[in-house]
Amino acid sequence: MTDGLQSLILALIERGLLDTSRLSDREYVRAVLQEELDIRAKAGEFFWRKLTPSMIYALLQEEKLDRDRLRDAEYVKSVILANLDDLINAEIDVIIEYRGLFIPYARDAFAAGGLEAMVVLLVTAIEHRINSFYRQVLHPKLGDEMITEAIRSNMHTKMGWLMLLVSGHELPSELKTKINRLVEIRNAIVHYKFRPQSFEDMRLRYPVPQIEEIDIEETIEMIGELELVLESFRGDMCSDWRLAKEIATNVLGIEIEV
C-alpha cells in the first residue's frame, strides 16, 4: 500500500466515512475510496474551471504573461503553474461559501420547513456575489479599506447609484425589484419588531406572511441571472478580463464557470 493511499484511508476513517469493522472487505473499501476520489476530481475540475480566468487575469495585470505568446497553451499553463501559490487568493473563500454552503443550505432549510433560514441564506448568497463583484472591479484601483467601505453600503445603494457609478450600468429593473423584495423580507425576519398581536396574527405560521410566496427554485434562478449580469458588466469594464476568459476557453479549452 502506498503512503498516499494509506493517508487517504486514515483520513476517511477520521472523518467517519470508512467503517473500521469492514476494512477486510476489499470491495467495500474500494467503493468508498473510488467515491472519495470521484468527489475530489469533480471539486478540482470545478475550481480549475472557476479560477483559471481569474488566474490569467491576475498574470496579465502583473505583466507575468507575454502577450505575444497567449495562443501557446503550454506556455500559458507553465506560467500559471509557476505562479500558482501566489495566485490562490481570497476569491476562493467567496466561491466556497456561495457555491458550497449558502444555496445547498437554503434548499435544506426549505425542505425542513425553515423558510426564515432559507430567506436569510439566499439573501446572504446575493450579498456575497454583489460584494465579490465590487471587490473584483475596484481592485487594484482602490485599496482594500476603501473597497470594504464601499461594500459596507446597504443593498439599495449597492444595486442603485453605486452600481451605476462604478460599472456605468444599471441592473435590470425587474431583477432589482425581485432582489429588493427578498431583502425586505429578510430584514423583516432579522430585524423583527415585536409588537402586540391579535389572536388571529398569532395563528400565523410565519411572522412575515410574504415568506410563503417565495419560490426557492425561481429565486435560485434569479441569483444565476444576477451572476450573468454582473459578469457582463465586468467584461464591459475590463478588456483584460474579457481576454482572460477568451484564453481560458479558446486556448486552454476550459468550459469556464461564471
Asked whether the predicted pLDDT for residue 252 surpasses 70, the reply is yes
Show the beta-strand stretches assigned E in the chain: none
Report d(CA 241, CA 170) in Å as an integer.
20
CA distance 233 to 235: 5
Say what the alpha-carbon torsion angle 242, 245, 246, 252 is, to the nearest 10 degrees: 160
Q: How confident is the model at residue 91 (pLDDT cuts 50, 70, 90)?
A: low
- Is the pLDDT at 77 greater than 70, yes or no? yes
What is the model's pLDDT at position 191?
73
Amino acid occupying residue 151: I
The residue count for the chain: 258
Confidence of residue 159 (pLDDT cuts 50, 70, 90): very high
Determine if the peptide bond prior to 104 is cis (ω within 30°).
no
- Span 71-90, average pLDDT: 80
First vs last C-alpha separation in the chain: 40
| Average pLDDT of the residues in 247-256 | 85
Cell 441564506 found at: 121
pLDDT beyond 70 at 25:
yes
Q: Is the pLDDT of residue 220 over 90?
A: yes
Mean pLDDT of 242-247: 92
Q: What is the mean pLDDT of residues 109-132?
A: 92
Region 121-135: what's the mean pLDDT?
Answer: 92
Cα–Cα distance measured from residue 28 to residue 135, given in angstroms and rounded to the nearest whole number? 46
Closest CA to 80 of 98, 105, 101, 54: 54
Q: In this predicted structure, what is the pLDDT of residue 203?
A: 45
Q: How confident is the model at residue 46 (pLDDT cuts 50, 70, 90)?
A: low
State mean pLDDT over 209-214. 81
Q: Residue 33 pLDDT more than 70?
A: yes
90: pLDDT strictly greater than 50:
no
| Position 243 pLDDT exceeds 80 | yes
Task: Identify the pLDDT of residue 58.
Answer: 85
Average the pLDDT over 196-211 and give the result: 57
pLDDT band at 62 (very low <50, low <70, confident <90, very high): confident
Q: What angle do CA 200, 203, 207 make, to 5 degrees?
A: 100
Question: Is there a contact between 182 and 122 (Cβ–Cβ < 8 Å)?
Answer: yes
95: pLDDT strictly greater than 80 = no
Determine the number of helices (DSSP H) and then strands (DSSP E) in the chain. 14, 0
pLDDT tens figures, 135-146: 888 977 888 899
Mean pLDDT taken over the chain: 83
Residue 18, C-beta contacts closer than 8 angstroms, at least 6 positions apart: 9, 12, 29, 32
The C-alpha atoms of residue 61 and residue 240 are separated, in whole angstroms, by: 8
**Percent of the chain predicted with pLDDT > 90:** 41
Give the model confidence (pLDDT) of 161-194 as tens digits.
999 999 999 999 999 999 999 999 998 888 765 5
